[in-house]
Amino acid sequence: MFKSLKSRISLVYLSLVVMIAIVGTVSAINLYRLTEAIDGLMTANYKSINAVTNMLEAVERLDSAALIYINNDKQKGLDIFSENNKAFTEWFEIEKNNITESGERELVYNTDEYYTNYMKEFLQLQEIRNSHGLQPALDFYASTLFPDFIKLKQEMKSLSVLNEKAMFSGKTKATENAKHSMYFILFLTSLAIIGGFLTARFSTNRFLKPIYSLTQTMKLVKAGDLNRQANIMSQDEIGELAQEFNNMTKRLQQFEQSALRKLMAEKNRFITIVRNISDPLIVMDSNYKIVLLNNASELFFSISEEKSSGRHFLEIIRNGELFDHISSAFEAKEEHKGKIIFIKSDDEEYYLNVVVTTVKDLEKNSIGIIVLLQNVTSLKQLEKLRTEFIATISHEFKTPLTSIMMGTDLLLNGGMGDLTDDQKSITAAIKEDGEKLSNLVSDLLELSKVESGKAIYRILPCSISVIIEESVKQFYQHAEKKNVTLDFNADEDLPKVLADFEKITWVLNNLISNALKYTSIGDDILVSAFVQGHEMHISVKDSGVGIPDEYKDRIFDKFVQVKGNDLEVRGTGLGLSVAKEIVEAHGGRIWCESKLDLGSCFTFTLKLSR
């Protein structure tokens, strides 16, 4: 009847399901009973306790309202009294309709009677205060109203205590029921576990024996013994699997012979393609030992593949910067990583875009490295010419701009005689545009200096607190004129950073200047510094107009100016680009977080000094 493996497993599974169903049904019934008991406990008594607690709070505030009324703030006292009278009435109705315990009805009745009397006495208090003044009202409060207030509180506390005792009594009953249910379920579960274990053990040994035999045969075949045949021990699905496995091993023997020939042909074809790639290409294993060099690599580095194969990269190519780039990409498990590196070979200077590709197996483990060196020397030369051209033009603009600025200052200060209002307006416009153009020229000069590599960095241990103070100090007067709050937050005991003092001060000045441009009266600017991990984070946060979403990814690009959303263009679009170049030259990062109409926060990082 149960010849197939499927039917036998189904029988075992059905037996276990029945056991689980019995345990689950009994557990559900007991849990349902326990839930009903707990619900009754929580719903009735807790509802009364909560109502009485709120009534007590309302009565306390009624007493406070009476005192406020007596002491000359009558309207406020009446408002508080009316509000809490309403609250007391609402919670009293809830308690009145939730009487569940013996003696609770009498306490509710007494509370109602005391409260009604208290309300009448408050009306008398109003008449006494209005007719006879402060002292008689205080005497009436002390002799009559306050004692009745105490009686009312005591009656409500008795109500709360009565429900608390009932709740604890119900809790004890629920605990006893829970214990009995737990013991019964544990007993039933133990029986199910023992029965399930015995059934599963017997069935498993019987079902898995032919599988173990087949597994051992598979391991031998995997090791290369394709002539091995599996024993067919049953006529069920496992027997069929063993038969098909035997058929597969026969086909594998045939396939191995044909596939080996094709594999060798493909390998030769791949090697031929690699050798004829025009750019130098190097293949290494995970230990940085050279596996393959193409013809372009042999010519460029003046080495031969025969002497290089199996040797470490640095033994053959002694370039530390190139190896550092390759090893950092491999250790970081990056699939593709490119970097432009300067290399001198045979007295020739080259700029190579070094692209490192990590080779991974099916389990995503890194097993090798492919390094492609693309010659971009001509592109770098063009970039250098462009940078030098911008620097030359900017420098030539500097002298006439200085003359224009001096001339407009002389005119505006009356050095050439008094000007009419129209003349002053035009001269001021010329001065403003001249200042913008001067700032643009300064930014262009700084950018060309950074991009050309002529910027000299004196990176030394510096105090970031001193840098922030120096920068903020320059903008206090400007911030006061705009009625903007400028502050900084940096602990004196912060560790030092590795930085060029002047360059990082320039970056911070640029960020603060931008913040002032896009803030208005009443806004705040906060400069702060803190350590996170192995880096110092320096941020400039403002509550200004913010940056639209479409500009967040492009704000650090050259000549990008924020427009739209009623924002006035107020910069050259170069300052942030220069700041990014300087920060990255320090090995740091810079980014922006901003929400429109809520402000912006620019943050950059610097390495800590050891």
Kindly report, residue by residue over 192-209, the tens digit of the pLDDT: 788 777 776 776 666 666
Angle at 328 between CA 327 and CA 329, to 5 degrees: 90
pLDDT band (50, 70, 90) for residue 454: very low
Phi (first) and psi of residue 544, to 5 degrees: -85, -145
pLDDT value of residue 381: 61
Say which residue, 469 or 213, is predicted with more confidence: 469
Give CATH for domain 456-607.
3.30.565.10
Q: Where are the domains of the chain?
A: 5-198, 224-275, 278-375, 385-451, 456-607
Neighbouring-strand partners of residue 485: 524
pLDDT greater than 50 at residue 567: no
The whole-angstrom separation of Cα 559 and Cα 503 is 21
State how far the Cα of 266 lies from the Cα of 252, in Å rounded to an integer.
20
Residue 264: the pLDDT is 63
pLDDT band at 246 (very low <50, low <70, confident <90, very high): confident
Mean pLDDT of the region 174-186: 74
527 forms beta bridges with 488, 540
Task: For 313-362, write each residue's pLDDT tens digit.
Answer: 888 788 887 888 888 877 877 666 667 777 776 667 777 778 888 888 77
Confidence at residue 203, expressed as pLDDT on a 0 to 100 scale:
67
Token pair recorded at residue 243: 């038969």
Buried b (16+ CB within 10 A) or exposed e, 466-485: ebbeebbeebeeebeebebe
Nearest to 111 by CA among 151, 51, 81, 58: 151
Q: What is the pLDDT of residue 589?
A: 93
Measured CA to CA, the distance from residue 597 to residue 581 in angstroms comes to 28
Rounded average pLDDT over 598-603: 92
299 or 128, which is more confident: 128
The per-residue pLDDT for 524 is: 93
Angle of helix 74-96 versus helix 104-132 axis, rounded to 10: 170
Number of residues in the chain: 610
Instruction: Assign 163 a pLDDT band (cuts: 50, 70, 90).
Output: confident
Q: Tell me which of 60 and 237 has the higher pLDDT.
A: 60
CA dist 528 and 515 (Å) reads 14
pTM of the model: 0.37
Using an 8 Å Cβ cutoff, are 520 and 482 in contact? yes
Q: 385 pairs with which residues across the strands? A: none
Query: Rounded to an integer, what distance in angstroms lies between the CA atom of residue 167 and that of residue 34?
Result: 15
Percent of the chain's residues with pLDDT above 70:
70
Q: What are phi and psi of 339, to 5 degrees?
A: -160, 140
pLDDT of residue 375: 72
Position 399 scores a pLDDT of: 63
pLDDT at 292: 80
Residue whose structure tokens are 């290369």? 224
Which one is the CATH code of 5-198: 3.30.70.100, 3.40.50.720, 3.40.50.2300, 1.20.120.1730?
A: 1.20.120.1730
| Whether pLDDT at 424 is above 90 | no
pLDDT score for 33: 64
Tokens 């470490």: give the residue: 312
The candidate with the shortest Cα–Cα distance to 401, out of 432, 422, 423, is 432
| Per-residue model confidence as pLDDT tens digits over 395-417 | 566 667 666 767 777 777 776 66
Q: Do residues 523 and 485 make contact, with C-beta atoms less than 8 angstroms apart?
A: yes
Answer whether residue 41 shows pLDDT above 60: no
Give the integer Cα–Cα distance in Å for 15 and 199: 8
pLDDT score of 267: 61
Q: By the 8 A CB rule, do 352 and 340 touch? A: yes
The more confident residue out of 137 and 384 is 137
Q: Per-residue pLDDT averaged across 209-229, rounded? A: 68
Tokens standing for residue 414? 């009356």
Of the candidates 195, 191, 215, the residue with the CA atom closest to the CA atom of residue 203:
195
Tokens (6 digits) for 75 = 């309207």
CA-to-CA distance for 515 and 542, rounded, in angstroms? 6
Does position 287 have pLDDT exceeding 80, yes or no? yes
What is the band of 5 on the pLDDT scale with cuts at 50, 70, 90?
Answer: low
| Encoded amino acid at 136, one letter | P
Beta pairing, strands 485-489 & 366-375: unpaired
What confidence score (pLDDT) does residue 569 get?
44
Does residue 299 have a pLDDT over 80?
A: no
* Greater pLDDT, 227 or 3: 227
d(CA 185, CA 23): 7
- Residues 462 and 497 sit within 8 Å (Cβ to Cβ): yes
The topology under which CATH files domain 278-375 is Beta-Lactamase (3.30.450)
Q: Which residue has the higher pLDDT, 14 or 395?
A: 14
Q: Which of 187-191, 479-483, 519-523 has the lowest mean pLDDT?
A: 187-191
465-512, pLDDT tens digit by residue? 999 988 998 898 888 988 999 998 877 789 999 998 988 998 999 899
Q: Among residues of the chain, what percentage have pLDDT more than 90?
A: 10
Chain position carrying tokens 């320090």: 586
* Tens of pLDDT, residues 95-138: 888 888 888 888 888 888 888 888 888 888 888 888 888 888 88
Contact by Cβ (8 Å): 412, 543: no
Q: Which residues contact residue 514 at a Cβ distance below 8 angstroms, ignoring those fewer than 6 apart?
A: 571, 575, 576, 602
Query: Poorest-confidence range of 257-261, 306-310, 496-500, 550-554?
Result: 257-261
